[in-house]
Amino acid sequence: MSSTQAASKADFDVIIIGAGISGINAAYRVQTELPNATYTILEARDTIGGTWDLFRFPGIRSDSDLHTFGFEWRPWQAKKAYADGQMILDYMKDAAAAYGIDEKIKYHHHLTAADWSSADQLWNLEVTANGEPKTLTAHFCIMSTGYYDYSKPLDADIPGLENFKGTVVHPQFWPSDLDYSGKNMVVIGSGATAVTLLPVVAETAKHVTMLQRSPSYILVRSSNTLQERVMHAILPRWVALKLVRWTWIILPWIFFRFCKACPAASKSLMIALTKMHLPKGTKMEPDWVPSYNPWEQRLCTSPDADFFLGLKTGKSDVVTGTISQVSADAINLDDGRTLHPDIIVTATGLRICFAGAVTISVDGEKVDPSSKYIWKGMMVQDLPNIAFPSGYLHSSWTLGADASAIMTCRLIKHMQTQNISAAIPRLSLGGEEDMEDSSWKMSRP
């Protein structure tokens, strides 16, 4: 649905919320595809970077290659395809500065509420700017706020954790002064954070155990492949960079399709590949055989098999079990085994948070996004002129966020050429009964 009603004058044509990787990318697309549009970026924190500035735990890195996780318009040129958090942060700052995007960012601007005015055909944004309330208006909003709660981690239900007298750490808020040298550490969880964290802390800690309720698939990838080196050796740099990027897009997609088409074969392959990197004689059950097929959950990545190095030296190990109770100095498992850590790291996931927990309303009436459908993976039913870029589950986040940003700019261009002031996703006349299987509702919290 669209409206040709005249729109009132706004402070900006487009306001982007968030100066993380999605926000910086959206800004580039807006200023490139809509050169006459005015825009700004509102960032609640005091710096650029989002996740890559917030997370400071040892070994923080991308779980995706930077050729596809990085910007299409600013090719990743480092030799390592998998980069640590500081390298990614530096890359983002460099990209933003190169295109003047950093000059468009308003720091310490925390969006708390957004209300669409049908009378004025614009968004009224309630912002806390450097501690003071402020209102900004925009014709279109792009909510590049990511998918998790920046201020509150996910509190896993770990029986008796409050009894532990040692140090308990959540990776989202890793203390800068934490000294784990010579200490025994237990990392609870088997997802990307645990797989990333373990090999780095194992270099300094006395011993590190990854305690998992069930195993995950860990895919070993080379951070600098032979074909990449050959491409750079024989081709012009700009050609090599494009080919390398497309290689990283296409080959993982082929592997994903293989996993979906041949689940049993892909499971056998993944288990065999894992066994190649484990110490000789390691039993595969129960620590290394997941109960699900590859890509039914996201795969973890181990660049250059770093995760397995500590297992071979004895500096780290993996334990599969369910926690029955945490005592003052131990973790007791249901099967009777006991772990004695000095430090417990709860790498148990992130708290999902849609649109940065901003209160969204239309003409003063609050909208519950969890009761709505999503259009094209980027707009919410009944919400005018607002996009929510989202990354892919089966590929690099930035590829999906960029697709949303490009689609948003196409939509705004169309609105401008047709003199349309508002674009509102609506259900068909048949309502939910006419929705195709590919349509989906956001699940309620």
Q: What is the pLDDT of residues 352-394, one digit of tens each?
A: 899 999 999 999 999 999 899 999 999 999 999 999 999 998 8
For the residues 308-320, what does the mean pLDDT come to? Answer: 95
CB 165 within 8 A of CB 329: yes
Q: Are residues 193 and 72 in the same domain?
A: no
Position 6 scores a pLDDT of 62
Position 444 scores a pLDDT of 32
Amino acid residing at 371: S
CATH number, domain with residue 316: 3.50.50.60
- In this structure, what token pair is assigned to residue 118? 């049908």
Residue 437: pLDDT band with limits 50, 70, 90: very low
Whether 442 is in a domain gets the answer no
Which of 313, 346, 379 lies at the terminal end of a domain, its last residue?
A: 346
Position 443 scores a pLDDT of 32
Residue 8: pLDDT band with limits 50, 70, 90: confident
Whether 155 is in a domain gets the answer no
Residue 445: pLDDT band with limits 50, 70, 90: very low
Report the DSSP pairing between strands 132-143 and 359-362.
Answer: unpaired
Contacts 24+ apart (CB under 8 A), 304-308: 304/220, 304/221, 304/222, 304/223, 305/220, 305/277, 306/199, 307/195, 307/198, 307/199, 307/218, 308/220, 308/277, 308/278
Q: Are residues 326 and 191 in the same domain?
A: yes
Give the integer Cα–Cα distance in Å for 307 and 131.
43
Q: Are residues 276 and 339 in the same domain?
A: yes
For the residues 275-302, what does the mean pLDDT come to? Answer: 95
b/e 364-391 (16+ beta carbons within 10 angstroms → b): eeebebeebbbbebbbbbbbbbbbbbbb
Which of 328, 346, 364 lies at the terminal end of a domain, its last residue?
A: 346
For the residues 48-63, what does the mean pLDDT come to? Answer: 94
Position 103 scores a pLDDT of 98
Q: Are residues 412 and 299 in the same domain?
A: no
Q: Are residues 261 and 282 in the same domain?
A: yes
Whether 407 is in a domain gets the answer yes
CB 358 within 8 A of CB 365: no
List pLDDT tens digits, range 210-265. 999 999 999 999 888 888 888 889 999 999 999 999 999 999 999 999 999 999 99
Whether 445 is in a domain gets the answer no
Which of 311, 346, 381 lies at the terminal end of a domain, its last residue?
A: 346
Whether 443 is in a domain gets the answer no
Q: Are residues 144 and 223 in the same domain?
A: no
For the residues 176-204, what does the mean pLDDT come to? Answer: 96
Residue 72 has pLDDT above 70, yes or no: yes
CB 92 within 8 A of CB 21: yes
Position 442 scores a pLDDT of 36
Give the integer Cα–Cα distance in Å for 18 and 302.
29
Whether 439 is in a domain gets the answer no
Position 154 scores a pLDDT of 86
Q: Are residues 190 and 313 in the same domain?
A: yes
Whether 192 is in a domain gets the answer yes
Q: Are residues 358 and 236 in the same domain?
A: no
Q: Provide the β-strand partners of residue 319.
A: 211
- Domains identified in the chain, total number: 2
Q: Which of 395, 399, 411, 352 is nearest to 142 (CA)?
A: 411
Q: Are residues 14 and 138 in the same domain?
A: yes
List pLDDT tens digits, range 381-432. 999 999 999 999 889 999 999 999 999 999 999 999 999 999 999 987 655 5
Share of the chain above pLDDT 70, in %: 95
Q: Which of 397, 403, 404, 406 is nearest to 65 (CA)?
A: 397
Residue 324 has pLDDT above 70, yes or no: yes
Whether 75 is in a domain gets the answer yes
Q: Are residues 288 and 375 in the same domain?
A: no
Q: Provide the β-strand partners of residue 142.
A: 16, 387
Position 430 scores a pLDDT of 58
Measured CA to CA in angstroms, residue 48 lies from 75, 85, 107, 226 at distances of 19, 13, 9, 34
Residue 130: pLDDT band with limits 50, 70, 90: very high
Between residues 155 and 300, the one the model is more confident about: 300
Q: Are residues 142 and 203 in the same domain?
A: no
Q: Are residues 384 and 329 in the same domain?
A: no
Q: Print the domain residue range for 67.
A: 2-150+351-434
**What does the mean pLDDT of the chain come to?**
93
Position 432 scores a pLDDT of 58
